[in-house]
Structure 1
C-alpha cells in the first residue's frame, strides 16, 4: 500500500511539474563596469553578450542556465617598480583586460508587477588577457541581481558579479595603496552589469 501511494504521488507531482514547466531560449546583452579589488584603479566600461534557456518550473520560480561572453578588467592600474637602468622608483599605469566565457546557473524568483530577484553561481573560463603575471586561469563567482519584465517580454536587468579567486600577482602589480590593506594581495574580479534580455516563445 505504501509503495502504491508513493508511486501515485510521484506520478502526480511529475505530471503537475511538467504541466507548469516551460523552456524558452533567449538572448541577453548590455554594458558592464568592472574592476579588480584592492588595486584602487578605474572601472573598465565594456560589454557582455550571451544566450540562455529560461526554464519556468513554477509560476514564481525559473532556473536559467546561461553562457555569456564577458569583457572585464580594470583601467589605470598604478604599478610601482624599481628601474634598474636609471636606479630610480617609477610608476606606470596599465589597463588590464580579462575576457571570459561565463557559465552561470541563475535562480529567478518572480514577484508581482514583473519584478524579479536573480541569484546564482558562475564559472568564468578565461579566453584571453594581457596580464604579465596571473595566479589563476579561471574564476568562480556569485551573481546577485534584480530585474523587471515588461509586458512586451523584454527583461531589464541590473546585476553584481563578485569573483572569489585571487586572479593576479600583487607582487608584480604592486602600488603604494594596496599595501595599506589587510587583503591587499587578494585581488578579485568585481563586475556590474546593466542590460536587457528576451526569451523567445512568450
Structure 2
C-alpha cells in the first residue's frame, strides 16, 4: 500500500509539474544513413553497406519533472542496406512506420540528450530474394521480412528560441528483421540482420 501511495504521489507531482511547463508539438524531417548489421547475404557472400534515405514525421514533447521530458514521435523511416559482391550490387529497401518513445534531459537551455525504445511496423520492402521457382529475382520482398521491429535510440537535440531544432540520433536494431522461408526443402533468409540507422534531422516545434 505504501508503494502504491508513493507511486500515486509521484505521478500526481509529475502531472502537476507538466501543466506548469511548456507542452510542445512539432514536425521533423531528415536524412537516414541506414545499414543492416549482422550476417551477410547469400551464404556469407558479399558485404553489406550503408543506404542513404530519409525520415519524416511529427512529435509531441511532454514535460515531466525538472529537466526531464518525454517525447513520443510518429515517423515514416526508409531504411535498409546496400549489398555488393564483386561488380554486382543491389539494395534492400525497408520502409517502417516508427514510434520512438524517448526520455529527454536538458543539459542546458535548448540542448538535450535523449534515449529510449523505437518501435517499428514494416509497410514496404524491396530487395533481392529467391522465388518459388528457385530463381534469384528483385521486387516486392515484404513477405521475406518480419512485420515488427524494435530499436534503441540515443542522441541529442538543440532547439533555438524561435522553435527550430536540429538533432542527431543513432538507432541500434534489437531484433532480427529477416523472415525465414523454405523452397524445396532448402531454407533461405536464415541469417540474422538488424536494422540500424543514423539520423540527421531538422524540425520545428511550438
Is residue 127 from structure 1 mapped to residue 123 from structure 2 by the alignment? yes
User: Counterparts of 1:111 and 1:151 in 2: how far apart (Å)?
Assistant: 16
How many residues matched? Answer: 174
1:107–1:94 Cα change, 3 Å: same
1:42-121 equivalence runs, <5 A? 42-75=49-82, 77-78=83-84, 92-121=88-117
Question: Given the two structures, how large is their TM-score scaled by the length of structure 2?
Answer: 0.73
User: Counterparts of 1:11 and 1:94 in 2: how far apart (Å)?
Assistant: 51
User: Counterparts of 1:73 and 1:52 in 2: how far apart (Å)?
Assistant: 23
Q: Rg larger in 1 or in 2?
A: 1
Q: Is the 8 A contact 1:22 1:57 kept in 2?
A: no
Q: Is the 8 A contact 1:20 1:58 kept in 2?
A: no
Aligned position for 2:200: 194
Q: Is the 8 A contact 2:14 2:65 kept in 1?
A: no
Moved over 3 A (4+): 9-16, 169-174
Question: Given the two structures, how large is their TM-score scaled by the length of structure 1?
Answer: 0.74
**Which structure: greater strand fraction?**
2
Secondary structure of the 1:136 match is coil
1:55–1:18 Cα change, 3 Å: closer
